[in-house]
Each structure stands twice: as C-alpha cells, then as structure tokens.
Chain A
Amino acid sequence: MASLLDALVTGLVYGGVYALLALGLTLQYGVARILNLAYGDFLIAAAVFATLLYQHYQLSPLVSLVLVAPISFLVHLLVYHLVFVQLERRSGSWRAMEASSILLAFGLSFVVSGAMLAIFGGKLFSYSYLLVPVHILGSVVPANRLLAFVLALVFGGIAYLLLVRTRIGTAIRAIAVDPDGAPLAGIDVRRWAGITFAFGGIICAAGGVLISMFQTFNVPMGVSFTLKALVVVIMGGVGNAVGALVAGLILGVTESFVARYVSPGLTLAAVYGLFVLAVLTMRTGILGRALR
C-alpha cells in the first residue's frame, strides 16, 4: 500500500512538470504554428545552465530560474525572427510554413543538442538540492520534487491566468483560433506570435531548471522530453491548458507505475504506448474539442 502511494505521489510530481512543459509547447505550436522539436534540447540547455551554476557558484536553482527566463526569452525571440520568419517569407504563407517548420525545428534540435554534446558529451548531470524528506499523504517525497511540483503548478497557473484574463492573452488566443482574422482586430500576428514563441521558451527553460532540481539527466535525453511534452499536448488537445494538466498527470502516474510495477526500462515504451493510444482514439484530446 505504501509503495502504491509512493508511486502515485512520484507520478503526480512528474506529471505536474510534464503539464508545464506541455503548456509551453502547445503555446508555441498553437500560436506561432511551430511544432518545436528542439523543445527538449532547449530544456536540457536550461537544466545544464542551472546545474553548472549550482556546482560552480552554489547558486540556488531558484536564482537560476530568474536568470534563465530572460535569456531563454531572448534566444527564442531571435530564433523565431532570424530562422522561422525567414522561412515564412520563403514559403509565402502562414499555412505553408507550418509543415516546413517541423523540418527546420528538427534540424534546430540537432544543432542545439550537437553543440552541447560537443562540449559535455554524454556525461550525467545532477546536484543535491533540498534533499530532505517530506511526509505527505503517508508517503515520503524529497523536498526538491515537491518544490518542483508546486512551482510547476504556480508557473502554469500564472501563464493560464495571463492567457485568459489579459487583453494580450486574449489576443494570443485569438491568433491561435483565427490567424487570418486577427489582423482585422489590429493584432500584429507576427509580432505576438514571436513573443508567444519566446514565452513558450521561458516555460521550457523553467521546466528544465525544475527537472534539474530532482532528476539526473544528460544531453541526449532532450528528445525524450520533447516526446513527452508532445504526447501530453496531443492527449490534452492543442491549445488546451486544462487538458494539458490532466494529460500531464496521467502521463506522470503511468510512467511511475510502469517503472515500479513492470520495469524501469519500459517507461519510455509506456509513453509511446499512450501516444499511440491518444492518436488512435482521441482526435481532440481528453477534454473534448481543442481550442482550434
């Protein structure tokens, strides 16, 4: 019973972080129309950044979060305008760009992960931060995981409120549902799509720092994070924040149960399994129709 509870709590903690990751990816895809396959690699870059700062300067990952947010925003804004907007100009239309941007993002993934591999190779990164046991629901969770979970929910909640409650957030949702009609409301689609892409980049980087707080990782793992975020986006419905939360928790719990009761080696297979199941059975995500 205790181990069942352990698996559940661990799963929920991971799931909360996956939900946050999915929110960033779905913003980038839903608004900027870029399926960012380099997402996990940018995430790893932020995780490496936090780890190195902790190891060399004993800098708290909470400080790294503050540092990494503006850096990631700028990097993503540059990538959007220097790479993807050029692609849009060449492909002639917003919609034609959607398909070719996938290939471009795939290439970007190789560039980002390749650069990091050249510097760090495949070595494992980890550091001990807040490694104290916390008793919760009769289970024991390390404080770092709990903090990561809480921060993931807080960041996700803030992003959600910004999208729903502010005029700019509403404009961003309008671009997601009707990119052709948005200019008629005076919305500069390219500008706000770029800012949204970069905002997704902040979420991605924040997720990377949170993951570095409790998980050992290396550069080649970037792809698996892209995949997990993608599975959650598809299960939750593109552009659906609440769906992403539910799907993220399901994915986290599934992983945790498979690792504990089947085999730790099969967790990625379980992710793929869920992915296939989601694609085959749910065209619009768990919570009904997507935003689009």
Chain B
Amino acid sequence: MLEIRELTVHYGLHEALHEVSIAVAPGEIVVVLGANGAGKSTLLKATMGMVRPTRGHVTLDGLDLTSLIRRRLTHQIVEQGLVLVPERGGTFTDLTVQENLTLGAFPRRARAREAELRAFALELFPRLKERLHQRVGTMSGGEQRMVAVARALLSAPRFLLLDEPTLGLAPVLAKQLLRVLPQIAAEGIGILLVEQNAQLSLSVAQRGAVLSNGHLVHAASAAELRDDPAVRAAYLGSE
C-alpha cells in the first residue's frame, strides 16, 4: 500500500499543495485529475523527495519514507520501490534505448529481476525491440514515452508514479500508451497517474480524485467521476 497523508508543499509563500491524502493499493490504478497548476506534478515530486514538503507523510507498505523525502534522497526512494516517470522526461536522451533500460535496473534491488522485467517491458512495447541501439533523443515523442515507462519498469517498482504520460501525444498514441497500464497493474504494481486527459485515464483507472488549487476536492470511483456533472464540465468537455 502506498499512502500519502496530508502532504503540504510551499513554494516560498505560495501553497502549492494543501494536506493532500491519497492511497494506492498494489495492482490498483488511481488517477488524479487537475488543470495546469493544480499541483499534480508537485504531488508526485514531493512523494519522490524531489521537492521538500512542508508537512505530511508517505509510507510504502508500512515503511515510513518521510525522512528520506525530507532529506531529498530520491535515489534511495527509488531503491525502496517507488518510481516516477516525470512529465516529458524519464529518459536519458543522449543514451540508447538499451542503455536506458540497463540504467532502469541500476537500483540494487532491481538487478535480480532484470532479465524478466526487460522481457516484460519489451513485450508491452514491441516497437522498442527493433530500436534497442537507437539514441532516445532521435525517437518520436510517443516512443520516448514508451522508453520512459519501460525504464521505470526495469527498476522493479512496487508503485509507479506517472506524470501526464500522454502530454503532447496524438490521441491514438495516448490511447495505446494508457492501454498498457492495466497490464502493468496486473503484475501487482500499483499506479498513481496524474492526467489532464480525464476521459482516457478514467477508462483505465479504478479510482480517481480531482486536484484543484492544491486541494484534493473530490475522490470517488472512476465510474462515479465519469458521470459526475462537475467533472464532465471541467475535464470531459460538454458533449
């Protein structure tokens, strides 16, 4: 179980995140919806110790990560099995696909399962098989997202955090990418996804919540959120 409790982040005087609590079970997909600047990225970055939260706790299967987060020891958090694919990032663009995957398995705990996870990642993204020796920077945006998710999988995550993976992707590619998430969850990996694309992300998630101005305002099952008039108006268009 990944539990984020009352996480609060300030950038200077500005409160970017206000006492946000959310939990993800193993094998579950949870989506946090929100507009630009709602605090979605901040939530994930604070969970990884990339920004220092003002208050709040994060526990991973009962283990308190809060002190690692406060000391901003992101690499040790990854070593514990919490892995983030950041917005538009998560790859080393000057290195090849193969090298990126190898670095995914850099955490000590991921080494034992490297061969198995590499095979799993390439099964999810067969296109990468032909491109193993290509530099990631020369690939299309969609392919780079695939490399980022594949690299994260090689780190043997217990929980995977995804920051707007479909940003900038054509609708077909976005759909392809998110379709893979249930297969990852089926391996027992919990997924916390932040997205603006509500329609698509609610179709793969079991639960969801809405983040607005740093406040978590609405948490419900994905089905309820899909039918919620306020969510429909804000994130699903008015059709």
Contacts and interface: CB of A to CB of B under 8 A. Distances in A.
A174 B92 contact: yes
B48 A184 contact: yes
A185 B95 contact: no
Contact of A170 (B74, B99, B151): B99
A177 interface: yes
Interface in B61-109: 74-76, 78-79, 83-84, 86, 89-95, 99, 102-107
Nearest to B80: A186
Interface residues of A, number: 18
A174 to B, nearest CB: 5
Contacts of B105: 167
B92 A177 contact: yes
Contacts of A185: 78, 92, 103-104, 106-107, 151, 155
Interface string A228-257: 000000000000000000000000000000
A121 interface: no
Contact of A189 (B75, B90, B93, B110): B75
A184 B99 contact: no
Interface string B16-54: 000000000000000000000000000000001010000
Contact of A181 (B76, B79, B83, B89): B89
Given A177-B94, A184-B48, A167 B103 contact: yes
Contacts of B107: 185-186
Interface string A90-117: 0000000000000000000000000000
B114 to A, nearest CB: 10
Contacts, number: 66
A177 to B, nearest CB: 4
Given A170-B102, A174-B103, A184 B94 contact: no
A171 B50 CA distance: 19
A171 B94 CA distance: 12
Nearest to B104: A185
Nearest to B111: A167
B155 A186 contact: yes
Given A167-B102, A171-B103, A183 B94 contact: no
Interface in B92-138: 92-95, 99, 102-107, 110
A291 B137 CA distance: 12
Contacts of A188: 75-76
The 10 lowest CB-CB distance pairs between A and B, nearest first, are A186-B107, A183-B74, A186-B78, A177-B94, A183-B75, A185-B103, A188-B75, A174-B92, A186-B106, A170-B99
6 contacts: A174-B95, A174-B103, A183-B74, A184-B84, A184-B90, A187-B106
Given A181-B91, A184-B48, 16 more contacts: A167-B105, A171-B106, A174-B103, A177-B92, A178-B92, A184-B78, A184-B83, A184-B86, A184-B89, A185-B151, A185-B155, A186-B107, A187-B75, A187-B106, A189-B75, A292-B94
Interface of B: 48, 50, 74-76, 78-79, 83-84, 86, 89-95, 99, 102-107, 110, 151, 155
